[in-house]
Amino acid sequence: MSLITMPFGLTEPLFVPEYWMPPSLFHLAERTGFDIESLIFSFAIGGIGTVLYNLIFKKGYIDMPHTERSHQRHKLHIYILFVPAIVFVIFSLFTTLNHIYCGIIAMFFGGLATLYCRPDLKGKIWVGGILFTILYFIYFGSILPFYPQYVELYWNLDNLTHILVLGIPIEELLFAFTFGMYWSGLYEHLYWRKLIKSKEISTN
C-alpha cells in the first residue's frame, strides 16, 4: 500500500505555496513545487495507515467468500474505489477551496463510500481515523518544542482557518483523520479481504 500512496507525493505542486512552503532538499519545493520529502512522507503514511489498526487490535486477514462478493452493494465496487479522486477533481475545478480542503472532503467521502460497500469495516474505518490522528498529533507535536516557529514559517495561515490545536493547524489534523479513515480500510476493500483476530488464523 505504501507504493500506491507514494506517487501522491507528486501532487505537492497543488499545495505549494497555496497551503504551505515546506523546507526541502536542494530547495526543490521553492523552485519547482516538487520535493523528495513528499514522496517519502506519502510512502510512510500509506503503510502506517494500513497496518496501525491491525497492529493495535491484533487483526489478520482472510479472503472474502465469493458468496459475499456477489452482494448487491458490491456491484459498485470499482466505482467506489474512485470516489475520492472524482470528488477531489470536482471540488478543485468548480470551487475556490484550498486544495487541502478538497483533499479532506474527498477522503471523507471516500471513507463513507467504503462504509457503504464494506459495512463490516466500520470499526476499522472510524477507529483507524482516530488512531492515525493521534499518531500524527504526537509526531507533529514532537517537532514544535524544538522548532516553535515551524508552523508560522512554513504554513500559509492567511489561506487557512487560523485554528491551531496546541500549535498544530487544524487542517493537518483533519487531513490525518480523513486519511486514516479512508486508507485504513482500503486494502481490505481493494483486495476483497476480511478482518479476523490473528489468533483465529493461527488455530485454523
**Beta carbons of 180 and 42 less than 8 angstroms apart:** no
Q: Provide φ and ψ at 60, rounded to 5°.
A: -125, -170
- pLDDT score for 34: 65
Per-residue pLDDT of the chain (204 residues; tens, 9 = 90+): 777 788 777 778 888 889 988 877 767 667 776 677 888 878 888 888 888 989 999 889 899 888 888 888 888 888 899 999 999 999 999 999 999 999 999 999 999 999 999 999 999 999 999 999 999 999 999 999 999 999 999 999 999 999 999 999 999 999 999 999 999 998 898 888 998 887 665 555
- pLDDT score for 92: 97
Q: Pairing mode, if any, of strands 59-63 and 168-169?
A: unpaired
Cβ contacts of 195 within 8 Å, gap of 6 or more: 54, 59, 60, 61, 120, 121, 124, 188
Q: What are the strands, taking DSSP E only, across 8-93? A: 59-63
State how far the Cα of 173 lies from the Cα of 152, in Å rounded to an integer: 16
User: What's the alpha-carbon Rg for the chain, to the nearest Å?
Assistant: 18
- pLDDT score for 153: 94
- pLDDT score for 201: 57
- pLDDT score for 204: 52
State how far the Cα of 29 lies from the Cα of 22, in Å rounded to an integer: 7
Cβ contacts of 196 within 8 Å, gap of 6 or more: 59, 60, 61, 62
